[in-house]
Amino acid sequence: MLKKIGILFIISIVIIACNSTDEGETGIIDNFNRGAMLTHIADNIINPSYESFKNQMVALKLAGDTFATTPNQTNLETLRTFYVNAYIDWQNIEMFNIGKAEELNYSFFMNIYPLSSVDLESNISSGTYNLDNDNYHDEQGFPALDYLLYGVANSDTEILSKYTTDTNATNYKKYLLDVLNQMNSLTEQVVTGWSSFRSEFIASTSNTATSSLNKFLNDYIEYYERKLRANKFGIPAGVFSSTTLPEKVEAFYKKDISKELALESLNAFISLFQGKYKGNVTATGLSFEQYLEALDRKDLATAITSQLFAAKAEIQTLNNNFNQQIIDDNSKMTRAYDELQKAVVLLKVDMASALDIQIVFIDADGD
Amino acid sequence: MKNYIKKYLNQQTNVAPLAVFRIFFGLLMFASIVRFWANGWIEELYLAPKFHFSYYGFEWVKPIGDFTYVLFIVCGIATLFVAVGYKYRLAIITFFLSFTYIELMDKTTYLNHYYFISVLSFLMIFLPANVYFSIDSYVKKRSYQNVPKWTIDSIKLLLGIVYFYAGLAKLNSDWLFRAQPLKIWLPSKYDLPLIGNNFMQQEWFHFAMSWGGMLYDLTIPFLLLYKRTRIFAFVLVVFFHIFTRVLFPIGMFPYIMIVATLIFFDANFHQKIISFLQKFLSHLSFRLKWRNLNVSSSDFEARKIVLRTSNYNFSKSKKQLIFPIIVIFFTIQLLFPWRYLAYPGELFWTEQGYRFSWRVMLMEKAGYTTFKIVDGKTGKSFMVDNKDFLTSFQEKQMSFQPDFILEYAHYLGDHFTSQGHKNVEVYAESYVALNGRMSTKFINPKINLYQERESFKHKNWILPFSSEIKIKGI
């Protein structure tokens, strides 16, 4: 009998060993092909989004170079146009916190707001700063450009003078170029890194805390909850504080694009959910929406899309300038927030639960 | 009847199963403690969080800073003492107290099998597990062949309760007729080799696993009790627990259960394990002797003499103490899981009387709960970012369990009051999804939770379970 039990133990251990060594291996033949979904997302959504933004970033940097060489009204206007275009396009890639972007903390260097304008000014006047340092996250990226192109003085003439006649003009120009170079070089690294990371990304479909699929889904949901819902709406609308904080809106100095940025961000989020690129079907492929449907949760997939569109409709009624909206009538802003919030529940509770995403590695017995 | 009981209590049986149980229990617990430490969970679960969720009445049990490591060391040493049977009673009491203290520090980490370890080690305090093949018996130079039969039976009974009650808990419509939550969990194991992409995705397989699991839990204690079905039952035990180990992150539990069910085997089997261990040890001591020449062989042989006595009996005074404790212990074990009947509402929804009842693997439940701090006078309010106070694991557990929500609401109330906020009121915005149903509102958002007190009474601020798909059953 001891022998039999011994054999049983050996078999069991073999089963366990097989299980742990084969982890991460794929070869899906069940009714939903996660590898195909990730491939579609990688090739038809992430890749074109990255390429598009990279081009925007290059154009922005060139316009910055031109402006720094010849700071005049025309070049300022051009630079501003490229800034707005790039900032809008950025909304399509901020949620991809994967590979090189995750490793470099890309989005922290690109879009942490509100900007610390006091620190930024002291960087310029002293000329000593290190944009690679984590302490300088809120003194660079798009919010810094926003300030340097719109907020550094009250009128265009005065803004231009900062780069021409001001005693610190050289430092202003240098800071502007440093910010642009930093953004451009990080973007290049991320986009280059992506092409080598792609194959790893689409292959990692297992259900473990470290698989691409799970991390991507987690980041995706977290992006919605934090960067979109909280940062763009909740925080400035005073949801998390006892008073409203209208100065914490995105693109505070440009002012009239905060709604456009938010809508672009939400569109990008919805597009990814539906397997589209910037709202368009560019190639057929599987999406999170179809993933839920494959799991017999069409009810949930429908609930999520209709809630996201409800939020979008609510946002469309707002002033182009969120700062102004909050000051004039914050209740409209909080109503938009509430609609966005309802989708958080569907994403974080219902969708995460339906997909049974492994998030933390801790023993559980299902209660 | 009285005679029968008296006769039963005096019945003796071979001690070997109890001794083997003690050894394996000690070693597995040691492995559990080491594993817990090695995974960094002491830091992550007990030292990193700012705030800990306490069991009602045990709010005083908290992690003790860096001394928490000392607590784990003490617990770990106790397991080894239990395994070798050295100062057994002191060791098992130390283990019971330290392990239970650890479990009481934060209920976020509650697992049924941790509770099982606590109750089992409590029971073991009263069992003579060290009278044979132990250092205690070696030191006392006295070893027993037999112990009262009830001592071994009590472990079987406890195991039987665990399985049978786990089976009873599966007699509900979600488990049996909707194959929930397995219908959610199994397809998500698509990356398992061999079975991940076919069986795991099939609905019939989810139902087969649900019904199989229920039948397994209800029948396994009986199959293990009868000699004819025992081997078959043990094969099932091994298969079932290995399978669950492969599927779910349940840590050491499967191994603990596999080893624990060995207690059902007869003494011959355990005697073989012991003679195997004896051979191994004598081989070891021979080599030790050979190396340390200064230990004279005669000295060694002299110490080895252990008087073998046949029957171990509890003294009369011990009996007077132990019997009532054992009876009360099992009465509580049998009745406690039914306490949920005293509460209105759906058990899976309110979780009133859910814990400590061997309800395992029954729910895929997730929630999203945020809190609004309101100034009761001015009506001004703001939302709390849970990440400021809770770890992601704590937030996850808090979000769907009412007692967590209440405790956290009080913590927030106290925190913001101490920060100088006036007339603090705390409201929860909470949504919960259960076993594949759409999420619905969980907590009455109009109730100021800061005013509500924890108690054993029904929590009337939990909104009733409103899904059209009701849960019927035990």
Residue A363 pLDDT: 65
- In this prediction, residue A365 has a pLDDT band, given cuts at 50, 70 and 90, of low
Structure tokens at B116: 């099982």
Contacts of A272 (CB under 8 A, 6+ apart): A41, A45, A95, A220, A287, A288
Q: Do A366 and B380 touch (CB under 8 A)?
A: no
Greater pLDDT, A1 or B29:
B29
* Chain B residues near residue A299 by CB distance under 8 angstroms: 438
> Is the pLDDT score of B293 beyond 60?
no
* Bridge partners, residue B284, by sequence: none
Which pLDDT does position A205 carry in this prediction? 84
The predicted structure's pLDDT at residue A243: 92
ipTM of the complex: 0.83
Q: Considering only residues 203 to 232 of chain A, which have any Cβ-Cβ distance to chain B shorter than 8 Å?
A: 205-208, 230
State the pLDDT confidence band at A24, using cuts at 50, 70 and 90. very low
CA–CA dist B116, B359 (Å, integer): 12
Residue B26 predicted with pLDDT over 70: yes
Instruction: Measure Cα distances from B255 to A349, B165, B248, B363, B432 in Å.
Output: 32, 20, 13, 23, 33
Residues B74-92: what's their mean pLDDT? 97
Q: Is the pLDDT of residue A3 over 70?
A: no
Q: How far out from the chain centre does Cα B315 lie?
A: 32
Taking alpha carbons only, the member of B234, B303, B295 closest to residue B269 is B234
| Contact: A241, B382; criterion CB under 8 Å | yes
Q: Are A31-198 and A206-367 equal in CATH topology?
A: yes
CATH architecture of A31-198: Up-down Bundle (1.20)
Cβ contact, residue pair B368, A344, below 8 Å: yes
pLDDT at site B291? 55
- pLDDT tier at B300, thresholds 50, 70, 90: very low
**Does residue A359 carry a pLDDT above 90?**
no
Report domain extents, chain B: 9-337, 364-441
Q: Look at residue A364 in the predicted model and tell me its pLDDT.
A: 64
List of chain B residues whose C-beta atoms are within 8 Å of the C-beta of residue A295:
187
Q: Is the pLDDT confidence value at A1 over 60?
A: no
Portion of chain A with pLDDT greater than 70, in percent: 89
Minimal Cβ distance to A353: which of B198, B384, B433: B433
Residues of chain A with Cβ-Cβ distance to B360 below 8 Å are: 365-367
Domain boundaries, chain A: 31-198, 206-367
- The pLDDT tens digits of the residues spanning B223-252 come to 999 999 999 999 999 999 998 888 888 888
**What percent of chain B lies above the pLDDT cut of 70?**
95
Q: Is the dihedral of CA A119, A123, A129, A131 positive or negative?
A: positive
- The verdict on A354 touching B (C-beta cutoff 8 Å) is yes
pLDDT for position B301 = 46
Q: Average pLDDT for residues A263-288, to the nearest whole number?
A: 93
Contact A16 B245 (CB under 8 A): yes
pLDDT confidence of residue B298: 45
A155 touches B: beta carbon within 8 Å: no
With contacts defined as CB-CB under 8 Å, which chain B residues touch A4? 231
User: Which of B106, B399, B439 should one mutate to test binding to chain A, selecting the residue with the greatest count of A CBs within 10 A?
Assistant: B439
Q: Does domain A206-367 have CATH number 1.20.1420.20?
A: yes
What mean pLDDT do residues B309-318 have?
90
Instruction: Kindly report the nearest CA distance between residue A242 and chain B, in angstroms.
Output: 5
Tokens of B385: 């970012």
pLDDT band at B292 (very low <50, low <70, confident <90, very high): low
Any idea what the Cα angle at residue A74 is, between residues A72 and A78, rounded to 5°?
A: 115
Helices (H), A22-127: 34-41, 47-69, 73-90, 99-104, 106-110, 117-126
Q: A344 at the B interface (CB within 8 A)?
A: yes
Question: In this predicted model, what pLDDT tens digit does every residue of B396-422 receive, in sequence order?
Answer: 999 999 999 999 999 999 999 999 999
Joined tokens for residue B67: 């001394």
